[in-house]
């Protein structure tokens, strides 16, 4: 995953006959995400689930004939825009029974899917580590003081309204971060933790339900 620290890595074994849409669904399932749209940039071509749905449902990974160490950019989440650099480590002929994708290894916990992307995730980790709010009263007043100096003709009531809006906005952000931390980054789950067994168990539960449909 790009633009995220601690580093998040997943090593997967996948059949190359997966379509781009299948790849997105499998990958998001392994991460524990719902998957809200995706974009893939590969060999100078762009495949977007929002605009070219029929093409992403028909185009397979095999068609690109990727070579070992070759990469492509996979962006998932139509709002948060999580970017992954996908690299082919090796390829080999499969056998009957090897069709199911599997996670072989990894590093780092999967970030919450809807937390404003890498920037929001960094704020969550900072809040978890330091416990600081987004804006202290002193910081708000410092901003007001700068604006007052730059616009001396503005009545004091203007800054009172701005102060209230800033306080409400920062408080709302603080509450959202706190809820996300409670739900996904509690004291029992660190951003550095990763469990292959848990990841694959989540995928196999999804696969069982999918085959039952």
- What is d(CA 128, CA 212) in angstroms, rounded to the nearest whole number? 40
Output the pTM of the full model.
0.69
Say how many residues make up the chain.
213
Between the alpha carbon of residue 92 and those of residues 13, 68, 96, 133, the distances in Å are 10, 11, 13, 51
Q: Higher model confidence: residue 19 or residue 35? A: 19
DSSP lists the bridge partners of residue 41 as: 46, 73
Determine what percent of the chain is predicted with pLDDT higher than 70. 78
Q: What is the pLDDT of residues 69-125, one digit of tens each?
A: 999 999 998 778 899 999 999 988 866 656 778 888 998 888 888 777 888 888 777
Q: Among all chains, which residue has been given the structure tokens 């590093």?
A: 107
Q: Which two tokens stand for residue 195?
A: 């469990």
- What is d(CA 152, CA 186) in angstroms, rounded to the nearest whole number? 46
């Amino acid at each position: 995953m790009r633009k995220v620290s601690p580093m998040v890595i997943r090593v997967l074994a996948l059949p190359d006959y997966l379509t781009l849409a299948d790849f997105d669904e499998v990958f998001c399932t392994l991460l524990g995400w719902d998957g809200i749209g995706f974009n893939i940039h590969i060999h100078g071509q762009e495949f977007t689930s929002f605009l070219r749905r029929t093409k992403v449902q028909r185009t397979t990974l095999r068609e690109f004939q990727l070579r070992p160490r070759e990469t492509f950019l996979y962006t998932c989440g139509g709002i948060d825009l999580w970017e992954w650099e996908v690299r082919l480590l090796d390829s080999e002929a499969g056998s009957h029974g090897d069709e199911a994708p599997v996670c072989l290894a990894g590093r780092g916990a999967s970030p919450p899917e809807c937390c404003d992307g890498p920037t929001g995730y960094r704020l969550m980790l900072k809040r978890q580590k330091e416990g600081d709010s987004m804006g202290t009263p002193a910081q708000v007043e410092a901003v007001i003081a700068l604006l007052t100096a730059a616009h001396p003709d503005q009545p004091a009531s203007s800054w009172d309204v701005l102060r209230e809006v800033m306080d409400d906005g920062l408080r709302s952000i603080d509450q959202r971060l706190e809820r996300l931390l409670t739900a996904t980054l509690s004291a029992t789950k660190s951003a550095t933790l990763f469990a292959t067994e848990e990841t694959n168990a989540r995928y196999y539960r999804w696969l069982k339900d999918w085959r039952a449909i």
